Structure 1
Amino acid sequence: MTATETTEPTEPTGTTETRTAELPEIAEPARVTPKDARQLTRLFLDRLAVLEEGTREYQYARNTLIEMNVSLVRFAASRFRNRGSGEMEDVVQVGTIGLIKAIDRFDLTREVEFTSFAIPYIVGEIKRFFRDTSWAVHVPRRLQEARVELAKATEELRSRLGRTPTLSELSQLMCLSEKEVDEARLASNGYVSSSLDAAISNGDEGETALADFIGTDDHALELVEDFNALAPLIAGLDDR
């Protein structure tokens, strides 16, 4: 039988009736049922391990594995539905990166189901996405991670000492320089932003918003630029 000939419809739900390079040709991988996906995933991973990277067969096996297991990503993403950061489709796309990493790193010799192996990768990518996008102001990842460590160290020392720890004490516990600890403190200010319309007091004279404490524009500052621009021209004039 050639690769283009058809067979009896014995494949799991979502597959066509042809076979290519020892793998079932699946027309719509995303519509394969979870039960069939588990069986087919093992078959495709077995074949992927011996195929040459970059070949058409390799790309077919890898892409089919990704599409068949997108339901895993959606399942993991559903845990973060109430986090309120971005559209769920964005979260699924990020989680798919974790799925791809799991496919590329899965070791068939290990006695573990692919599902159990892939979920931590998917969830890890999604958590990293929320960590990177939850900041009101973008700061380097180094400082984002330092902020988390700073919070842990501060809480630990506060419990141990019964007071707010000093910069030096935090520096010693975190094994960072005082400058780096101070940078982490400043970075913490970028994690949450406040609306200028947010009420900060509600006294007898009415509600006070943060914007009420922000100074107004000083129009005289505009004259400074004019004076600097005119100064060399004025210096070139004669006495008259």
Structure 2
Amino acid sequence: MSTTTAARTTYEHAEPLFEQLGLTDPGSPEHEALREEIIEICLPLAEHIARKYAGRGEVFEDLLQTARLGVVMAVDRYDVTTGSPFLGFAVPTIMGEVRRHFRDHIWPVHVPRREKELQGKVRAATEELSRRLQRAPTAQELATELDVPVTDIARTLVAANAFQTRSLDTPARDNDGDPGMTVAETFGAEDPHYRLTEDTITVAPLLAQLSSEDQQLLIWRFYDTLSQGEIAERLGVSQMSVSRKLTRLLNNLRAQTADDKRAVAA
């Protein structure tokens, strides 16, 4: 491809270049030269994504290098014959590499070593199961794949979000993206999640008293977000049977929770 052609081509419209690449011998100098040319054309995308993650406690040059690695991976993995645009494939690939960099290198909040180690295994298992199942795996499927309790998977996923913190003096942004009060100055209002936290604390002991079958039913429905029909298929029963059992379980939990709150109030 000529330099003039390359100058006219941007990463938003790179598909014709990949079509040409597919027509060359993978071991030929022509193939390697065209591959390098495509990577060079797509490098501005790496900088754009790296800047999106700037200011989060990591050196920009390290983010840029990681994003550029993501570009190379996207170029090498993209299959133009699928008909999907390159940009739609490249962006999540590059962003995934940058997020992985944060998870692997930035842990300002203390996270137990076991969660850190399991987090890497969960990430690898997620990628493998996604390829195998052609969809994102559920927490239960990850637990089965890694032979660990589903609660460990949940804790690990929560710990994965501990790589980013903000100073209390950091200016918060308003709806227009302009600097406003500091993070500390936004404190004081009642957090709408407090009620959810209280309810969770209340119901946790009640869930622990349920049978393993009832616990599994709730995990399928509310953690793995399976439909009642999908649960019924797994259990070999009717959808109506699953519906009745879920209704009974939830009504019992609501009644016991209400009793506990009244006892505390008294």
Normalising by structure 1, we get a TM-score of: 0.47
Larger of the two Rg values belongs to structure: 1
